């Protein structure tokens, strides 16, 4: 959510930002909220004047009583009563206007960074840099579900009976690799100076609406029937929500946290849940990183965070690239974002395994996350980034470490979590 002062002082800037995001249907909202805000401030000003007048009249009653001017006392009391009714009416109108303004402000997109490339959708995202040499082996790399089947690692038939499409059982060595990757991701981030956390896996609606847009919530989140609770789609949601209505001490900044969680997503509007494979599923596990920092430091942290993920994947012998998200592909709360994509030897192309986002003060403004200096308080900046999301990263691992004889290499970084095994046969 942007600052209302931007609309008060520079409507055109906000409108141009909407145009950059190819959301012209929202242009009229800027004028609408501008006019509602004028009405709100006028209403508030009138109410303040009436409260001041009421206080003066109330103060005069004592003097009139002392002078035994009872008839005037009665007139003043009647006048105070009339003013109070006007005040109550104005206060009711203020609340209605405030609610209408907030509702509109929640759907006006955040101001994107000047460096974000312009484009309508993800097809116009821009490759930034490649890390590691993409290898095309001389032998055929099977579909990941077939690789898992060879090591008795995947059972989707049973999960179809217990849970339906979009779920899976991982077993044996496949389950062990999956857990090993998560454990390594945890320790990798701890070594980078991040504090490890395990957050709540369910959060209230007021937290959900604080960390994401309504449209994202509808498409992603599972609602717990009869409860004010949602299953998290990523631990970022509950990790940022942890600081709701907090005034963070300046000496405690930056806050750098890495969190593990299962994640649950409806995947509405996606390209379809896979029947055989585990690329797009309703349930997965993730190691996340979040940073809460001073506004002037957020872009530096953004650069550090995606670089951590690149480094992590390279230690697993997986080539990756970074892809700058264009304006039309940015979610409304984001200032800047990039995807990290892993190389698929089977498909001979890259696919997404994580994303890094700078949300500026949007989440902090919605949730009331501030820092206080000597004179005033201000909103902090929040960032999030995927360290590892598996089973999608498991697919990249299997394909890039698959040998012609069907065996799978275990990179050195993972061996300590795999009983010092070097290969799975």
Residue at 18 is within a domain: yes
Average pLDDT over residues 271-278: 71
What's the token pair of residue 359?
């949300």
Q: Are 195 and 202 in contact (CB under 8 A)?
A: no
pLDDT digits (tens, 9 = 90+) for 309-327: 999 999 999 999 999 999 9
Average pLDDT over residues 25-52: 95
Q: What are phi and psi of 132, to 5 degrees?
A: 90, 150
Q: Are 288 and 236 in contact (CB under 8 A)?
A: yes
Residue at 110 is within a domain: no
Same domain, 14 and 63: yes
State residue 365's pLDDT score. 95
Tokens 């032998």, residue? 139
Residue at 285 is within a domain: yes
Same domain, 43 and 128: no
**Last residue in a domain, options 72, 105, 138:** 105
Residue at 116 is within a domain: no
pLDDT band at 57 (very low <50, low <70, confident <90, very high): confident
pLDDT band at 268 (very low <50, low <70, confident <90, very high): low
pLDDT at 73 over 70: yes
Same domain, 276 and 396: yes
Print burial letters for 204-235: b (CB count within 10 Å at least 16), e (below 16).
beebbebbbbeeebebbbbeeeeeebbbbbbb
Q: What H or E segment, with its residue span, contains residue 256?
A: strand 255-264
Residue at 113 is within a domain: no
pLDDT at 270 over 60: no
Report the chain's mean pLDDT, rounded to a whole number. Answer: 93
Domain count, the chain: 2
Q: Is the dihedral of CA 349, 355, 360, 362 positive or negative?
A: positive
Q: What CA–CA distance (Å, rounded) separates 325 from 322? A: 9
Residue at 117 is within a domain: no
State residue 70's pLDDT score. 75
Same domain, 320 and 187: yes
State residue 376's pLDDT score. 87
pLDDT digits (tens, 9 = 90+) for 215-265: 778 788 999 999 999 999 999 999 999 999 999 999 999 999 999 999 999
pLDDT digits (tens, 9 = 90+) for 171-194: 999 999 999 999 999 999 999 999
pLDDT at 62 over 80: no
Same domain, 44 and 140: no
Same domain, 295 and 244: yes
Same domain, 69 and 191: no
State residue 274's pLDDT score. 62
Same domain, 177 and 57: no
Tokens 């192309």, residue? 349
- CATH number, residue 138: 3.30.930.10
Determine if the pTM surpasses 0.85.
yes
State residue 63's pLDDT score. 75
State residue 273's pLDDT score. 62
CA distances from 376 to 9, 296, 370, 372 (A): 21, 17, 10, 6
Same domain, 369 and 223: yes
State residue 272's pLDDT score. 58
Residue at 295 is within a domain: yes
pLDDT band at 346 (very low <50, low <70, confident <90, very high): very high
Same domain, 32 and 180: no
Same domain, 40 and 141: no
* Residue 322 structural domain: 122-424
pLDDT digits (tens, 9 = 90+) for 369-418: 999 987 889 999 999 999 999 999 999 999 999 999 999 999 999 999 99
30-34, 115-119, 216-220: range with lowest mean pLDDT: 216-220
Q: What are phi and psi of 66, to 5 degrees?
A: -60, -40
Q: What CA–CA distance (Å, rounded) separates 192 from 210? A: 28
Q: Are 384 and 309 in contact (CB under 8 A)?
A: no
Packing angle between helix 27-66 and helix 11-20, nearest 10 degrees? 150
pLDDT at 214 over 80: no
- CATH number, residue 23: 1.10.287.40
Same domain, 73 and 216: no
Residue at 112 is within a domain: no
Average pLDDT over residues 147-176: 94
């Amino acid at each position: 959510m942007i600052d209302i002062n931007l609309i008060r002082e520079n409507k055109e800037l906000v409108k141009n930002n909407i145009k950059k995001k190819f959301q012209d249907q929202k242009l009229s909202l800027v004028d609408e909220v501008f006019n509602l805000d004028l009405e709100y401030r006028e209403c508030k000003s009138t109410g303040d004047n009436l409260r001041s007048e009421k206080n003066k009249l109330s103060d005069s009653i004592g003097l009139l009583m002392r002078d035994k001017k009872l008839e005037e006392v009665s007139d003043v009391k009647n006048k105070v009563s009339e003013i109070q009714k006007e005040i109550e009416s104005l206060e009711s109108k203020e609340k209605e206007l405030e609610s209408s303004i907030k509702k509109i402000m929640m759907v006006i997109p955040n101001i994107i960074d000047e460096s974000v490339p312009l484009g309508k959708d993800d097809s116009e995202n821009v490759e930034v840099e490649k890390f590691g040499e993409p290898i095309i082996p001389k032998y055929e790399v099977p579909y990941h579900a077939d690789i898992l089947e060879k090591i008795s690692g995947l059972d989707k038939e049973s999960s179809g009976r217990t849970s339906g499409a979009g779920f899976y059982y991982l077993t044996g060595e496949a389950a062990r690799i999956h857990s090993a990757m998560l454990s390594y991701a945890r320790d990798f981030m701890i070594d980078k100076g991040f504090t490890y956390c395990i957050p709540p896996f369910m959060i209230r609606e007021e937290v959900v609406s604080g960390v994401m847009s309504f449209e994202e919530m509808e498409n992603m989140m599972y609602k717990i029937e009869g409860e004010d609770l949602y299953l998290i789609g990523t631990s970022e949601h509950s990790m940022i929500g942890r600081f709701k209505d907090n005034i963070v001490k300046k000496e405690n900044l930056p806050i750098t946290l890495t969190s593990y969680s299962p994640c649950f997503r409806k995947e509405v509007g996606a390209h379809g849940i896979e029947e055989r494979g585990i690329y797009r599923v309703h349930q997965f596990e993730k190691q996340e990183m979040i940073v809460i920092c001073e506004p002037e430091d957020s872009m530096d942290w953004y650069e550090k965070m995606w670089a951590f993920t690149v480094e992590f994947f390279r230690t697993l012998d997986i080539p990756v690239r970074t892809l700058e998200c264009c304006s039309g592909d940015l979610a409304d709360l984001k200032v800047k974002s990039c995807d990290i994509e892993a190389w698929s030897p089977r498909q001979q192309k890259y696919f997404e395994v994580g994303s890094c986002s700078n949300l500026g003060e949007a989440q902090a403004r919605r949730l009331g996350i501030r820092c206080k200096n000597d004179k005033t308080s201000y909103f902090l900046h929040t960032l999030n980034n995927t360290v590892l999301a598996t089973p999608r990263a498991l697919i990249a691992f299997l394909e890039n470490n698959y040998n012609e004889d069907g065996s799978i290499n275990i990179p050195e970084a993972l061996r300590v979590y795999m009983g010092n095994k070097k290969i799975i046969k």
